[in-house]
Amino acid sequence: MNTASILKSVLAGGLTLGLTTVAAAAGMQSKPMSMSHMEKCYGINAAQKNDCKAAGHSCASQDTKARDPNSFVAVPKGLCEKIDGGKLEPAQKG
């Protein structure tokens, strides 16, 4: 093989690798789930990790205990009741 052939092979390989990397990275970008694909799941939160207001507090991240039956976390629809302790309704309305 002469130098020109080797150079062409190296350049072609580098170009192929670069295009493959870009294509793979583009395919790995995921779209965030819209709220229409989510549901409120009560009783599965970690302390101070709830998603919104609930009985006893007025804002996200204000719950004081883990697995609060009145605090929720948004999860993909259909997942809540598969999680131990997950409920679709709060223990008390308010």
Q: Could you read off the pLDDT of 15-41 as tens digits, one per residue?
A: 565 555 555 566 555 566 677 899 999
- The pLDDT, as a whole number, for residue 69 is 87
In this structure, the number of other CB atoms found within 10 A of the CB of residue 4 comes to: 8
- The pLDDT, as a whole number, for residue 89 is 93
Please say whether the beta carbons of 52 and 39 come within 8 A. no
Strand partners for 76? 38
- The pLDDT, as a whole number, for residue 58 is 64
11: left (phi over 0), alpha (psi -120 to 50) or beta: alpha
- The pLDDT, as a whole number, for residue 51 is 67
Nearest to 37 by CA among 5, 77, 72, 8: 77
pLDDT(3) > 60: yes
In tens, the pLDDT along 37-90 reads 999 999 888 777 666 666 666 666 666 778 888 888 889 999 999 999 999 999
Residue 74 in tokens: 């948004």
Q: Rounded to two decimals, what is the model's pTM?
A: 0.55
